[in-house]
Amino acid sequence: MTSQEQAQPELKRVIGPGLLLLFVVGDIIGTGVYALTGTVAGKVGGALWLPFLLAFAVAFLTAFSYLELVGKYPKAAGAALYANRAFKVQFLTFMVAFAVMSSGITSAASAAQAFGNTYLKKLMGDSLTIPTVWIAVGFVVLLAAINFRGVAESLWANVVLTVIELSGLLIIIVVGIYAIANGQGDPGRLVEIDTSGQSSLIAVSSATALAFFAMVGFEDSVNMAEECREPVRIFPRAMLVGMGIAAVIYVLVAVTSSLLLPARELAGSGSDALLKVLSAGAPDFPLWVFALIGLLAVINSALINMLMASRLVYGMANERIIPKVFGVVHPARRTPWVSIVFTSLIAVVLVATVDINLLGGTTSLLLLVVFTVVNIAVLVLRKDTVEHKHFRAPTALPAIGAVACAYLASPLSGRPAREYGIAAILLAVGVVLWLVNRFVVGRVRVDAEKLSV
């Protein structure tokens, strides 16, 4: 270790159990359920609650692996750190980190499309004459500008945004309860699975693979480990309780949506689905209120993801994993402007050329591959003991989680081929950067513990 590394101060430990719980809930609640409920209904039919429930079951399996690993290695690098310790293959560590970065960009791009195509349009009505694709592109550019200026992320701001996001989903649930109590709704829809041209297994699997996008985010919390007080102690309860809260809310929203509207109508609504549900259950409710909540939800999700993606590229450049130009910091703003431009350009291309449903599916695909690696890594690292006590997952859970994640990431789940094409293009960009750095710039050196995201 160099003297410079020794002099580097530690991150400030300011996060207690309450703030960590809200961080987990806030990171899960966001763009996915606000933007893709209708598309999931189009894949599975009236049993909309089932894919959300199954997606959370798979997520819980993976969460146990993350909890064991963050307990053993309470560092900020997350999946890249675990892959590096387990397999000690620099290229694999790099690809895991780049896949996480890519998932952040595709998630932000889907949020940008939801912003332009749904919530801003509903909020402004006929006065909005700009093509929605340009609105979405402008949204990404605005995020880049905020990112460049230097956003001092506040945990209490995250608390406020989390409460706002939750309020929107609670409105849907309360309206549903009121409407059902007054005789609305068809309970028979809750067991309908769309088997037109496909088997029930494929219908449920493909819907679950997409619904997985709606609950990702819990894994981001492990990157806050170095800023938590007693992370080994507080992580298990905060993560599992937070995921449980999000799961209950999502399933209730899905049940309410299916009861009040037929699956075909939900699917036809696209990213407007929750607005349609609200109109069906409470015709007099001011939709602009829900549209404003939806706007804040997608803005929060997109900004967090773009901040994460740009900082991860910056971290990889600093560790000489990719060309060092991506680590250039603006002298006045003190922000990594080259990595911000790079990640924002990729997001702009995706927004302008790829459908929101494919963006959500590609996000879940990339993360399912990462989760498969993490579930295997926890078993490999059982031989690596540490002195302190930590959470230990039952051995069966990571094994089942690895198989489940690999299945949902595979073509067997009924994924559209285009999702693999988009993911392959994104990862190919990473491979090019790796090759340029290794054979043109110099030798690649991976220190995953310093890849904070």
Distance between CA 97 and CA 367 in Å, rounded?
11
Q: State how far the alpha carbon of 368 is from the alpha carbons of 63, 119, 198, 215, 410, in Å.
A: 12, 28, 23, 12, 9
- Please state the CATH superfamily assignment of the domain spanning residues 13-383+391-442+445-449 in this structure: Amino acid/polyamine transporter I (1.20.1740.10)
- Among candidate residues 107, 168, 96, the one with its CA nearest the CA of residue 143: 107
Residue 226 has a pLDDT of 57
Tokens 């993911």 correspond to what residue? Answer: 423
Confirm if 81 and 413 have CB atoms less than 8 A apart: no
* Residue 54 tokens, joined: 């199954």
Distance between CA 133 and CA 142 in Å, rounded?
14
- Among candidate residues 372, 363, 378, the one with its CA nearest the CA of residue 415: 363
Residues in the chain: 453
Residue 399 has a pLDDT of 96
- Among candidate residues 210, 273, 257, the one with its CA nearest the CA of residue 35: 273
pLDDT along the chain (453 residues), means of 10: 44 69 78 80 93 93 90 73 85 87 86 80 74 85 78 57 85 91 90 87 91 78 66 83 91 93 87 87 89 82 78 73 80 81 90 83 91 95 85 93 96 92 92 82 58 50
**What does the DSSP 8-state code read for residue 9?**
P
Residue 397 has a pLDDT of 95
Positive or negative torsion for Cα 235, 394, 103, 245: negative
Residue 76 has a pLDDT of 52
**What does the DSSP 8-state code read for residue 15?**
B
Residue 237 has a pLDDT of 87
Angle at 263 between CA 258 and CA 269, to 5 degrees: 105
250 burial type by CB count under 10 A (0-12 exposed, 13-18 middle, 19+ buried): buried
Residue 453 has a pLDDT of 45
- Show the beta-strand stretches assigned E in 343-382: none
In single-letter form, the type of residue at position 358 comes to: L
Domain boundaries, the chain: 13-383+391-442+445-449
* Residue 391 tokens, joined: 């959470």
- State whether residue 228 is helix, strand or coil: strand
* Residue 420 tokens, joined: 């693999």
Distance between CA 350 and CA 140 in Å, rounded?
11
Is the pTM here over 0.85, yes or no? no
Distance between CA 191 and CA 453 in Å, rounded?
41
Q: How many CB atoms lie within 10 A of CB 9?
A: 5
Distance between CA 261 and CA 249 in Å, rounded?
18
Q: 15 - beta bridge partners? A: 228
- State whether residue 44 is helix, strand or coil: helix
Residue 214 has a pLDDT of 78
Task: Give the rounded distance of the alpha carbon of 333 from its chain centre.
Answer: 28
Burial state string for 266-298 with b = 16 or more CB within 10 A and e = fewer than 16: bbebbbbbbbbbbbbbbeeeebeebbbbbbbbb
Residue 135 has a pLDDT of 87
- Among candidate residues 214, 234, 210, the one with its CA nearest the CA of residue 222: 234
Q: What is the DSSP string of 70-114?
A: HHH---S-THHHHHHHHH--HHHHHHHHHHHHHHHHHHHHHHHHH
Positive or negative torsion for Cα 386, 390, 395, 397: negative
Angle at 377 between CA 372 and CA 383, to 5 degrees: 155
- For helices 31-44 and 356-380, what crossing angle results, to 10°? 100
